[in-house]
Amino acid sequence: MTNYITPKIFLTPAKQSGPYCAVHQTTNPDSIKAFLKDLYLQALQPALPDTAMRAVQWPEVSGRTYLLSIGKAATQMAAAVLNRLPENADGLIVTRQGYVQPGFAPDNFQIVEASHPVPDSVGAEAAQTALQAADALGEEDLLLVLMSGGASALLPAPAEGISLAEKQAVTRSLLHSGAPISEMNMVRKHLSAIKGGRLAARAWPAATHMIAISDIPGDDIAMIGSGPTVADSSTCADTLAIAAKYDITLPPAIKSQLSSGALETPKADDPKMQRSTAELCARPADMCAAAVDAVRAMGYEPLMLGDALEGDALELGRDHAAQALAIKASGRKAALISGGEATVTLRNRDGRGGRCTAYLLACALALKGEPDICGFAADSDGIDGSEDNAGAFLWPGILDLMDGADQAGQLLEQDNSYLAFERAGALLMTGPSGTNVNDLRVILVG
């Protein structure tokens, strides 16, 4: 059975004992891991749908309400509002395989589990169901969309003249390119019949309202799930430039339609976008703020580096290691906290490891076993890339458990950071969390 993170109450350090005492007081790896995992779970609390969606509202309509919930938190978001929906509400819920909340099977709602990060035919069929439902709505109706990370891949609807296989090929190239999520989603919008505001245009004249959990650095709501109900400011020309920037070969049919402007998305002045509204219910900043409060309660000085950090994961890891060493040299007891979504440019397509383990292994190698520094990096959805771990832990002796720095460095060069932390018994395992607000990185010093 898949394990899900459930809300829990956390004690302050003053009331804790055993493995939850201040982490700097122990060198025991099991105690350090338990302490850090508790910190990670505590930071997630405000971003979980049960908490984040308590106060959300949506337009009241005299007609029908159709619910479309998409993403890695799709069933959890639907569950959070289910008892507030009109009795006549029905809809579609699309989530990643293995991400359905246990026991959640409401009447009148179809639940589909599709592939992520590369779309599949199951998701494509679900997208057609969503488009047909949007077509059937009238002026007195509401399309209520609940959006969370992963939706771009889970609900693929290739634009006219584009095959699913062509879209899958472009998606794979983007995933391997090191492009940030914002640029990936610009491309996805223009290859889609549902993204970039096109779903809202199909639902018009019905009202459309989207409630979203942000997994986008900077919280651009038009980029979450590639913005199926939000007007798009990017252009076909932007898409061609991104493909050229990352040396992505576009299929001839796609390149031709982009060049002619045939794949342009609805803009803000489009009449069919005038009944579409959207709001955020959880952001990476909420998770980072909870982490700040938690480390402060534990006696650490919180140093917030930003909730929307992007860039190369390896460079970020080395930079944070240098900052941690400088903090230690100054005699401070502090915590480096950051959110956002770094990128990894793959050199070994058979390698195992996500951006969190890549970041943390680069950080560990730069620290060279420095005492009194530990931490973790983890994806808030509970899965780092395409592996089964949320992320990993770091403590001073970890390189020895990886058979030394040379071996750890080789694994990093081979894009096998997962294997390095697996060897050390340092993987952070939680299962799907029920939310997705990007990554959290915490380095404790002192």
Using one digit for the tens of pLDDT, what is the confidence trace for 161-184? Answer: 999 999 999 999 998 888 988 899
Statement to judge: residues 247 and 190 lie in one domain: yes
Q: Where are the alpha helices (DSSP H) in 92-180?
A: 121-135, 151-154, 164-177
- Report the first-to-last Cα separation within the chain, whole angstroms: 39
CA 20, chain centre distance (Å): 28
Q: Which of 260, 282, 304 is the last residue of a domain?
A: 282
Q: What is the pTM of this model?
A: 0.87
Least confident of 11-20, 96-105, 358-367: 11-20
Least confident of 7-16, 63-72, 126-135: 7-16
Per-residue confidence (pLDDT) for residue 19, from 0 to 100: 37
The C-alpha atoms of residue 29 and residue 15 are separated, in whole angstroms, by 21
**Total structural domains within the chain:** 2
The C-alpha atoms of residue 137 and residue 122 are separated, in whole angstroms, by 23
Statement to judge: residues 255 and 380 lie in one domain: no
The C-alpha atoms of residue 438 and residue 285 are separated, in whole angstroms, by 10
Query: What does the pLDDT average to over 345-363?
Result: 93
- Residue 5 in any domain: the answer is no
Statement to judge: residues 297 and 248 lie in one domain: no
- Residue 6 in any domain: the answer is no
Per-residue confidence (pLDDT) for residue 14, from 0 to 100: 31
DSSP result, 203-251: HTTSEEEEEEE--STT--TTTGGG-TTS-----HHHHHHHHHHTT----
187 confidence band (pLDDT: 50, 70, 90): very high
Query: What does the pLDDT average to over 77-82?
Result: 97
Q: Which of 261, 282, 303 is the last residue of a domain?
A: 282
The C-alpha atoms of residue 116 and residue 93 are separated, in whole angstroms, by 15
Statement to judge: residues 24 and 99 lie in one domain: no
Cα Rg for the chain, rounded, in angstroms?
22
Statement to judge: residues 91 and 225 lie in one domain: yes
- Residue 367 in any domain: the answer is yes
- Residue 115 in any domain: the answer is yes
Residue 8 has pLDDT above 60, yes or no: no
* Residue 265 belongs to domain spanning: 51-282
| CATH, residue 278 | 3.40.50.10180
Residue 1 has pLDDT above 80, yes or no: no
Q: Three-state SS for 376?
A: strand
Sign of the CA dihedral with 362 first, then 366, 369, and 371 last: negative
Statement to judge: residues 188 and 331 lie in one domain: no
Per-residue confidence (pLDDT) for residue 23, from 0 to 100: 54
Q: Which of 225, 255, 282 is the last residue of a domain?
A: 282
Statement to judge: residues 89 and 42 lie in one domain: no
- Residue 384 in any domain: the answer is yes
Query: What does the pLDDT average to over 25-45?
Result: 91
- Residue 2 in any domain: the answer is no
Q: Is 148:212 a contact under the CB 8 Å cutoff?
A: yes
Statement to judge: residues 235 and 259 lie in one domain: yes
Residue 387 has pLDDT above 60, yes or no: yes
Query: What does the pLDDT average to over 33-51?
Result: 97
- Residue 300 in any domain: the answer is yes
Give the strand order in the sheet containing 391-394: 301-309, 334-340, 439-445, 373-379, 391-394, 427-428
| CATH, residue 354 | 3.40.1480.10
Statement to judge: residues 129 and 159 lie in one domain: yes
Statement to judge: residues 414 and 433 lie in one domain: yes
Q: Which residues contact 167 (CB under 8 A, 6 or more apart)?
A: 119, 156, 158, 191, 192
Statement to judge: residues 289 and 231 lie in one domain: no
Statement to judge: residues 29 and 59 lie in one domain: no
25 confidence band (pLDDT: 50, 70, 90): low
Residue 7 has pLDDT above 80, yes or no: no
Query: What does the pLDDT average to over 384-399?
Result: 94
Residue 10 has pLDDT above 50, yes or no: no
Query: What does the pLDDT average to over 323-350?
Result: 94
Least confident of 1-10, 39-48, 98-107, 324-333: 1-10
* pLDDT one-digit tens code per residue, 395-424: 999 999 999 999 999 999 999 999 999 999
- Residue 361 in any domain: the answer is yes
Residue 12 has pLDDT above 50, yes or no: no
CA dist list (Å): 41 to 66, 288, 353, 382, 429: 33, 12, 21, 10, 11
